[in-house]
Amino acid sequence: MKHLIDPTDLSREETEEIVDLALDIISDRKKYAHACDGKKLATLFYEPSTRTRLSFTAAMMELGGNVLGFSDAQNSSVSKGETCADTTKVINCFADIIAMRHFEEGAALVSAMNSKIPVINAGDGSHAHPTQTLTDLLTIKREIGRFDNITIGFCGDLRFGRTVHSLIKALSRYEAVNVVLIAPEQLRLPDYMKHEVCDLNGVPYREVDTLEEVMPELDVLYMTRVQKERFLDEDDYDRVKDCFVLDAEKLKTAKPEMRILHPLPRVNEITVDVDADPRAAYFRQVENGKFVRMALILKLLEWADREDKNTVLVPEDAVADEYTCSNRRCISNMEPGVKSLFRPATDKPGTYRCVYCESKPK
């Protein structure tokens, strides 16, 4: 069975199969109108969401299936202290597939470890957001036509932005992808992303201080919101919240075929005068999210009984209960009964990274 917890749970070929299926759905929606008749998707959302939850719901409805779940954990048994593992086992009795969003890093992985039905990570803390990545890839495919040979600028909150981490991972499997990182000091890309993802896959990246200096060379500009909810200190948030704002003036030096992506919601990082520019692809991107989730649901349900389609949830060389995770938002520090799991880091021999959230041991 396949789960989708991290974008690399799908091979490059499987990822492209899903993107191609989404393109086929777009070209002939009627063909898929009954593809999920009698199937149920459970959406378990412990953290606010508009696009992701509603696009999962719309996707399943357009496939002829049904949706159940919660969008506010306070209305579920979670408020009584039920663990993610137990909630998953319960939902297994009611649904065929799960989409889970959680504020704790590693929550979707814990859910998958306790599930006999496919689990989709719809965002776990600041860690990963693989279905946004599929959305971004479909958008790049439709707008730019290729994944190889692109220069992509990531701007804003590269530290907490899970969509950024997941998209860089997915693009690291393509040729000649150049990454430009545009972020204030406090919101730079985490080290594990730079070393284990970029360096080890030969993805060149550079950090710059302004949008202006890179604008003319970009094929894609991926804007992000500064994630207020991930800051432990409000003053820290206030210091960086207005750091990078894209407006029509700054776009003047951009290529005519450049595309602006944003996972949304936006706060103030793109001014509304940019929306009318044909290069602004972020609202088209939202619709792509529904189509790609339709394709993902279909594929995961098709692969659910296949023995050759297995997600490796815990690497073979992982060690259990030897270290404690340094990340206090990691599920291994939050939920009783979740054992700590660390795998050897590939960039530095002799060091370890948390299997749930990629952080170092304490």
Q: Which residues bind ligand NCD (CB under 6 A)?
A: 51-52, 123, 129, 132, 162-163, 225, 227, 263-264
Q: Are 303 and 278 in contact (CB under 8 A)?
A: no
Q: Which is nearer to ligand NCD, 123 or 190 (CB)?
A: 123
Q: Which is nearer to ligand NCD, 147 or 282 (CB)?
A: 282
Q: Which is nearer to ligand NCD, 219 or 269 (CB)?
A: 269
3-state SS record for the chain: CCCECCHHHCCHHHHHHHHHHHHHHHHCHHHHCCCCCCCEEEEEECCCCCHHHHHHHHHHHHCCCEEEEECCHHHCHHHHCCCHHHHHHHHCCCCCEEEEEECCECHHHHHHHCCCCCEEEEEECCCECHHHHHHHHHHHHHHCCCCCCEEEEEECCCCCCHHHHHHHHHHCCCCCEEEEEECCHHHCCCHHHHHHHHHCCCCCEEEECCCCCCHHHCCEEEECCCCHHHCCCHHHHHHHCCCCCECCCHHHHCCCCCEEECCCCCCCCECHHHCCCCCECHHHHHHHHHHHHHHHHHHHHHHCCCCCCCCCCCCCCCEECCCCECCCCEHHHHCCCCCCEEEECCCCCCCEEECCCCCCEC
Q: Which is nearer to ligand NCD, 245 or 345 (CB)?
A: 245
Q: How far is the CB of 47 from ligand NCD (least distance, A)?
A: 8
Q: How far is the CB of 283 from ligand NCD (least distance, A)?
A: 12
Q: How far is the CB of 351 from ligand NCD (least distance, A)?
A: 28
> What gap in Å lies between CA 353 and CA 191, rounded to an integer?
12
Q: How far is the CB of 258 from ligand NCD (least distance, A)?
A: 21
Q: Which is nearer to ligand NCD, 7 or 123 (CB)?
A: 123
Q: How far is the CB of 286 from ligand NCD (least distance, A)?
A: 8
Q: Which is nearer to ligand NCD, 69 or 123 (CB)?
A: 123
Q: How far is the CB of 154 from ligand NCD (least distance, A)?
A: 13
Q: How far is the CB of 357 from ligand NCD (least distance, A)?
A: 15
Q: Which is nearer to ligand NCD, 142 or 293 (CB)?
A: 293
Q: How far is the CB of 282 from ligand NCD (least distance, A)?
A: 10
Q: Which is nearer to ligand NCD, 48 or 315 (CB)?
A: 48
